[in-house]
Amino acid sequence: MLNDPFQRLNLDREVLTVSQLNGRARVLLEDVFAQVWVEGELSNLAKPASGHVYFTLKDGQAQVRCALFRQNALRVRQALRDGLAVRVRGKVSLFEGRGDYQLILDSVEPAGDGALRLAFEALKSKLAAEGLFASERKLPLPAHPQRIGIVSSPTGAVIRDIISVFRRRAPQVALTLIPTAVQGREATAQIVRALALADAQGFDALILARGGGSLEDLWCFNEEAVARAVDACVTPIVSAVGHETDVSIADFVADVRAPTPSAAAELLAPHSADLRQRLEGLRQRLLLRMRDRLQREAACLESLTRRLRHPGERLLQQSQRVDDLEQRLARAIDRRLCVGHERLARLETRLAAQHPGRTLNLLRQRLEHLANRLPRAMNDSLKGRRQRLAGLGQTLNVVSPLATLGRGYSILLDEHGHAIRSASQTHPGQRLQARLGEGRLQVRVEDNHLEPVTLPLL
């Protein structure tokens, strides 16, 4: 076999098999078009059980088949559907079994993504030149926040994750949701209004949060109006938009960027155990300093005792005051810890009162009540429909032509079964059929009184 599959055929007119021809064509296409970007519209989308994705990419004049194998399909975050405009990357190849020309893809992204990225970089450069990203503009986060505002959507997993982190780490912190849309045409204006409203309420810190999504889904956080609204806030802001790999303009302007909404909550939620450990450390440091102070004071007292005569009473008072202060400090520490334990117990009791079992019992009782009402409602409905049917039957009987025939009237029918409504439809000598209330008669027209009758005079 030739080392170069594209070596010119020899003068003896080398004859190739179909497999050899398709193989050489495939290697040629993959070598020349090792990686290309193609933009078009999806059609004929197929997703077999293997996990591979097959579709046709087309424009107004042509189309090409595409194959996206499972390992690459798992990395595509955009939901693929027929009619979607996309930009794909891959190599041109040939399916040797059928001789079909196709693209083997490794990336699929929305067709507008490139334009959005250019707009992103342009706005980023503009705001950076204005100094909105400068570190000296960043505000420090509070060490022990008591009230935190959350600017996010009221639905979805983001707000639940943030609440879960605070409930676990710092249940004493009061959370307030300032609801806003985080995707779509109205999202930008709503986010700007929500940030202004939250900044005016005197929170210790704000969390601007949204879950992950495509560049289009997160684009409202790349708008200049949102970036300037974040910069205008005097309250420290933690931006948590998208997943760890997602970066928005709001992340650069905010005081702190968190990779996820849960991480933003952890930044502002001091752990109770850490606080107790820090309090214990402060207590130990206080005791050590008190002991050192007492030792220094005792040494000073001893020195003064040697210098002064009869200072005992005053020194005893000072010593007693020091002991009293030490006891008061210990009692204050114990009282603070007791208050914290009582608050924790109350919160745990409130949490237990919100158990879903109570709601399920109420829903079960309502279901039983509705199940009892259903048969009665069905019987009442059927009874009403029967009465209506009987009334309609009586009305139908009143207007029925058979009832009219029963009162002595008849209907004349011609030889075709058509009803006679006018004398002009007949002619003398014509045979007709008369339908009575009971039975039928054969009659003959003697005179329809439409033509003058000539009578002989003699």
To 10 degrees, the CA torsion angle through 98, 102, 107, 112? -140
Mean pLDDT for the stretch of residues 255-268: 90
Q: What is the CATH number of domain 141-270?
A: 3.40.50.9100
pLDDT digits (tens, 9 = 90+) for 127-136: 999 999 998 9
pLDDT at 411 > cutoff 50: yes
Where residue 239 falls among pLDDT bands split at 50, 70, 90?
Answer: very high
Residues carrying CATH 3.40.50.9100, the chain: 141-270
Is there a contact between 343 and 172 (Cβ–Cβ < 8 Å)? yes
Mean pLDDT for the stretch of residues 286-313: 82
Where residue 323 falls among pLDDT bands split at 50, 70, 90?
Answer: confident
Q: What average pLDDT does the chain have?
A: 84
Min mean pLDDT across 12-16, 18-22, 58-62, 198-202 is at 12-16
Where residue 148 falls among pLDDT bands split at 50, 70, 90?
Answer: very high
Quick check: pTM over 0.85? no
* Cα–Cα distance, 132 to 253 (Å, whole number): 6
What tokens appear for 332 in the block?
A: 């204050």
User: DSSP string covering 109-131, please?
Assistant: EETTHHHHHHHHHHHHHHHHHHT
Q: What values do phi and psi take at 225, rounded to 5?
A: -60, -40
Indicate the pairing of strand 53-58 with strand 63-68. Answer: antiparallel
Per-residue confidence (pLDDT) for residue 174, from 0 to 100: 93
pLDDT at 27 > cutoff 90: no
* Tokens 């591979």 belong to residue: 52
pLDDT at 181 > cutoff 80: yes
Indicate the pairing of strand 85-95 with strand 63-68. Answer: unpaired
In the DSSP assignment, the letter for residue 131 is T
* Tokens 């900044």 belong to residue: 199
Q: Which of 70, 66, 76 is nearest to 40 (CA)?
A: 66
pLDDT at 3 > cutoff 60: no
Mean pLDDT for the stretch of residues 19-32: 84
Q: Which of 84, 102, 14, 10 is nearest to 45 (CA)?
A: 84
pLDDT digits (tens, 9 = 90+) for 89-105: 999 988 888 888 899 99
Mean pLDDT for the stretch of residues 271-289: 82
pLDDT, greater one: 75 or 204: 204
pLDDT at 288 > cutoff 70: yes
Per-residue confidence (pLDDT) for residue 192, from 0 to 100: 94
* Cα–Cα distance, 89 to 136 (Å, whole number): 42
Listed in sequence order, the DSSP H helices in 170-222 are 187-199
Q: What values do phi and psi take at 390, rounded to 5?
A: -65, -40
Per-residue confidence (pLDDT) for residue 359, from 0 to 100: 79
pLDDT at 8 > cutoff 80: no
* Largest Cα span, the chain: 186
Residues carrying CATH 2.40.50.140, the chain: 18-112
User: DSSP string covering 277-318, please?
Assistant: HHHHHHHHHHHHHHHHHHHHHHHHHHHHHHHSSS-HHHHHHH
Mean pLDDT for the stretch of residues 18-42: 85
Mean pLDDT for the stretch of residues 173-184: 91
Per-residue confidence (pLDDT) for residue 456, from 0 to 100: 57
What tokens appear for 399 in the block?
A: 């207007």
Is there a contact between 126 and 132 (Cβ–Cβ < 8 Å)? no
| CATH 1.10.760.10 assigned to 18-112 | no
pLDDT, greater one: 352 or 322: 322
Min mean pLDDT across 60-74, 397-411, 444-458 is at 444-458
Cα-to-chain-centroid distance, residue 395: 57
Per-residue confidence (pLDDT) for residue 2, from 0 to 100: 45
Mean pLDDT for the stretch of residues 134-142: 90
Is there a contact between 444 and 429 (Cβ–Cβ < 8 Å)? yes
Cβ neighbors of 169 (< 8 A, separation 6 or more) are 265, 266, 269, 270, 271, 272
What tokens appear for 381 in the block?
A: 């409905």
pLDDT at 374 > cutoff 80: yes
Where residue 149 falls among pLDDT bands split at 50, 70, 90?
Answer: very high
Where residue 458 falls among pLDDT bands split at 50, 70, 90?
Answer: very low
Per-residue confidence (pLDDT) for residue 77, from 0 to 100: 66
Mean pLDDT for the stretch of residues 284-303: 89
- State which H helix or E strand residue 434 sits in: strand 431-435
Where residue 1 falls among pLDDT bands split at 50, 70, 90?
Answer: very low
Is there a contact between 205 and 238 (Cβ–Cβ < 8 Å)? yes
Q: How many CA atoms lie within 13 A of 46 on its CB side?
A: 10
